[in-house]
Amino acid sequence: MWSDARLREHPAQPVAPKKAPKMTGFLQVEQLAKAYQADKPVFADVSFAIDKGEFVCIIGHSGCGKTTILNVLAGLDTATSGHCFMDGREIAGPSLERGVVFQSHALMPWLTVRQNIAFAVKSRWPDMPRAELGAHVEKFVALVGLSPAIDKKPSQLSGGMKQRVGIARAFAIQPKMLLLDEPFGALDALTRGTIQDELMGIVRETQQTVFMITHDVDEAILLADRILLMSNGSEGPKGYVPGGMAEVVVNPLPRSRTRAQLHHLDGYYDLRNHIVDFLVSRARAH
């Protein structure tokens, strides 16, 4: 054994912590983790980047932490560890630079469609002239096909129409990024398809950057440029393994795809089967 003197001459060199690879992208999520119980994080070491103008969907079973990640990006929740940056600045708290649409429309029931959207726009641009404000609101109401209902209150609208108002409101504040938490989950299939088409059209027109949670595989394939597959935490032979980002799938289908042609595109079934196989056999749902 070495003497104390020898140890003093040759002190043990500390091992430098392994750094996450430097990521590039408009949005950067670096080694994000969330734990409600210290020894069993919901997810850990989640890292990904999203380029400006990119549409990214995240899929995983309930409990894997998808909504928590979205809420951290929205500034509505905090991570246990890790960092999120958008446009070179760390996300800290809510901001009108990030528009959020939840499954529930969250409209103010005492205001009309016009007034609900105008309220958000005035929050973003308090000094916008009245005439410009009116034209701005009408433009985004027209984008979601609700011009005939612009002076109706939420109680006079169907569920699908309310979600369109929520989408119009999010786009009207012209955020740098749009965050969607299963916005069509409560809608019937026909309405859902119609709003998907409208969303796709607006995103292509505005080149909006979008991060969206969905449980619908076909919805992800239709809308997303890339699909993030997330696993649940689970007990393994060596103890508890936290959930995390299991795989990132690049959508190889042409970006000009439509719902009607989706099932006829080469590569669609391979892509769909790959994602379904992940959800059935590799996501470790519990």
pLDDT of 201 reads 85
Per-residue confidence in pLDDT tens, the chain, 286 aa = 333 333 333 333 433 333 434 556 899 999 999 999 888 899 999 999 999 999 999 999 989 999 999 999 999 999 999 999 999 999 989 999 999 988 877 899 999 999 999 999 999 999 999 999 999 999 999 988 899 999 999 999 998 899 889 989 999 999 999 999 988 877 788 888 888 888 888 888 888 999 999 999 999 999 999 999 999 988 888 888 898 999 999 999 998 888 888 999 999 999 999 999 999 988 764 4
Q: In this structure, are residues 164 and 196 in contact, taking their beta carbons and an 8 Å threshold?
A: no
pLDDT of 24 reads 64
Q: How far apart are CA 51 and CA 118, in angstroms?
A: 29
Rg (CA), the chain: 22
Only one residue has tokens 């076909």, namely 218
Please tell me whether residue 113 adopts helix, strand or coil conformation.
Answer: helix
Give residue-wise pLDDT tens across range 166-199: 989 999 999 999 999 988 877 788 888 888 888 8
pLDDT of 20 reads 38
The secondary element (H helix, E strand) that includes residue 211 is: strand 209-213
pTM over 0.75: yes
pLDDT of 216 reads 92
Q: In this structure, are residues 167 and 105 in contact, taking their beta carbons and an 8 Å threshold?
A: no
How far, CA to CA in Å, does 138 sit from each of 42, 158, 172? 43, 20, 10
Complete domains list, the chain, with CATH: 25-97+177-286 (3.40.50.300), 108-174 (no CATH)
Please tell me whether residue 100 adopts helix, strand or coil conformation.
Answer: strand
Q: In this structure, are residues 68 and 42 in contact, taking their beta carbons and an 8 Å threshold?
A: yes
Dihedral over alpha carbons 203, 204, 207, 213 (to 10 degrees): 40
